[in-house]
């Protein structure tokens, strides 16, 4: 058996440039979400307002997702990503401006709050394009045999950015305030935009350019529906993220339950990503393609346990450890899911399949934030988090029992076949 090269994808120059772009972009995006959460909760002191942030982003993301996937499959990927980043920089600039001293003094709190929600809404539209574009671009800059390794490094980069972004946001809120933290975010987005142009334009692999949009959308949905492994993995992760979205309530835990302030908030927010990136670095050396289905189920079960422990804890270090281990097991599920999608999705359908993925998983982060805010309002914060973890455990049992193809999934043969096709 050939030994796995842990740096296989990193041996391609364009992939390294892509990772740099993704790091700066996600670092800025995750910083921005944290700063917005902090500012909104500081204004309202209501967990429901945190749920509304998720709702404002998830509505356009879900409504636009399938259309975005069609457009991504029809367009050149590098240029489309550049357009998305440029538009995102305008949103970051808008948030920077509405938190300036002049605006804060002349506008009411409701006007500022509604403006934040409005910019988040437009960010949700862009979010529907980012996922499919990035997913499709990876497939154009590394060979198929390197997809599992590329998925590991891409996810690790994303997680590394979500480690440093929230932690840095927590510190910058304390050091320089919300307004100048948003200025840093704007600069990071502009930097990612400039670096992206080091990657040349890529060919469009879809043979059906100009295809009727409704036919195109049906093909994407039918493909996911008929691929039981993909459908099962997406459904499982969606429900786990939806009900296990405790991170949306971290401002409440940091300010009112654990009482650790903005710096503690930054550490809490970064803890899951620290665990996830550690796991992903390990998986670069130790492949997890063998018995991938069982490993996926075990990872999400562990995630549910960690969320319950976090919800019940009133001690900062226990909460921190619970979130850290939730990130470790979540890292396993993320790498497996991305590998499944990369290996089993045809090139001409990557945009549409990734869009369905964003509806199932990506948007469930924001919908999970809304669910957490709603249940916290109805049940109380601690009860809402424990309820979410319990629902995650029940979902794992149900999926493992009813979806045999996913439970028995082994990706070793898929990787071997791709290697033979390209050798």
User: How far, in Å, CA of 150 to CA of 18, rounded?
Assistant: 11
Number of neighbouring beta carbons within 10 Å of residue 195? 17
Instruction: Provide the pLDDT for residue 365.
Output: 62
Q: Domain 9-422 falls in which CATH fold?
A: Growth Hormone; Chain: A; (1.20.1250)
User: How far, in Å, CA of 124 to CA of 52, rounded?
Assistant: 13
> Contact at 8 Å (CB) between 74 and 14?
no
Nearest to 308 by CA among 410, 398, 396, 234: 396
User: Is 340's pLDDT higher than 70?
Assistant: yes
Instruction: Provide the pLDDT for residue 100.
Output: 87
Give residue-wise pLDDT tens across range 109-134.
788 888 988 999 998 888 888 888 88
User: Is 138's pLDDT higher than 80?
Assistant: yes
User: Is 1's pLDDT higher than 50?
Assistant: no
Percent of the chain with pLDDT over 90: 17
Give residue-wise pLDDT tens across range 259-308.
887 778 878 877 887 888 788 778 777 777 777 788 889 988 999 999 99
Cβ-proximal residues to 194 (8 Å cutoff; 6+ apart), any chain? none
Nearest to 312 by CA among 242, 382, 245: 382
User: How far, in Å, CA of 27 to CA of 158, rounded?
Assistant: 8
Its pTM stands at 0.70
More confident residue, 415 or 201: 201
Instruction: Provide the pLDDT for residue 213.
Output: 67
When the pLDDT of each residue in the chain is averaged and rounded to a whole number, the result is: 81
More confident residue, 367 or 103: 103
Instruction: Provide the pLDDT for residue 419.
Output: 54
pLDDT band at 72 (very low <50, low <70, confident <90, very high): confident
Alpha helix stretches (DSSP H) within 244-291: 250-252, 261-285
């Amino acid at each position: 058996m050939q030994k796995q090269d842990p740096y296989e994808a990193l041996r391609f120059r364009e992939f390294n440039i892509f990772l740099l772009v993704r790091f700066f972009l996600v670092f800025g995006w995750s910083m921005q979400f944290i700063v917005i959460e902090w500012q909104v909760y500081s204004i309202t002191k209501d967990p429901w307002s945190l749920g509304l942030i998720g709702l404002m982003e998830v509505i356009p993301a879900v409504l636009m997702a399938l259309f975005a996937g069609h457009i991504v499959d029809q367009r050149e990927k590098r240029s489309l990503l550049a357009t998305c980043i440029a538009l995102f920089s305008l949103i970051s600039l808008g948030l920077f401006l509405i938190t300036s001293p002049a605006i804060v003094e002349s506008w009411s709190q409701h006007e500022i709050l509604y403006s934040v929600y409005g910019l988040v809404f437009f960010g949700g539209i862009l979010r529907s394009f980012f996922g499919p574009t990035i997913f499709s671009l990876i497939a154009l800059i590394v060979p198929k045999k390197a997809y599992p390794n590329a998925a590991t490094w891409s996810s690790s980069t994303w997680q590394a950015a979500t480690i440093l972004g929230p932690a840095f946001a927590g510190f910058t809120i304390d050091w320089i305030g919300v307004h100048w933290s948003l200025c840093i975010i704007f600069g990071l987005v502009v930097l990612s935009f400039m670096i992206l142009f080091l990657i040349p334009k890529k060919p469009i692999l879809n043979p059906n350019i100009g295809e009727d949009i409704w036919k195109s959308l049906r093909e994407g949905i039918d493909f996911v529906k008929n691929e039981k492994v993909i459908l099962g993995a997406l459904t499982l992760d969606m429900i786990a993220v939806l009900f296990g979205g405790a991170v949306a309530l971290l401002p409440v835990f940091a300010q009112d339950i654990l009482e650790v302030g903005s710096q503690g908030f930054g550490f809490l927010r970064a803890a899951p990503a620290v665990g996830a990136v550690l796991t992903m670095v390990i998986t670069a050396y130790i492949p997890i393609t063998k018995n991938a289905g069982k490993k996926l189920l075990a990872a999400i079960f562990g995630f549910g346990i960690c969320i319950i422990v976090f919800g019940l804890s009133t001690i900062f270090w226990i909460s921190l450890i619970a979130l850290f281990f939730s990130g470790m097991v979540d890292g396993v599920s993320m790498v497996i899911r991305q590998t499944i999608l990369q290996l089993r999705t045809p090139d001409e359908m990557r945009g549409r399949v990734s869009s369905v993925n964003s509806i199932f998983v990506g948007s469930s982060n924001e919908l999970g934030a809304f669910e957490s805010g709603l249940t916290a309002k109805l049940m109380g914060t601690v009860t809402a988090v424990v309820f979410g973890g319990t629902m995650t455990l029940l979902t794992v049992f149900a999926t493992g029992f009813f979806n045999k193809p996913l439970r028995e999934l082994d990706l070793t043969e898929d990787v071997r076949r791709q290697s033979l096709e390209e050798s």
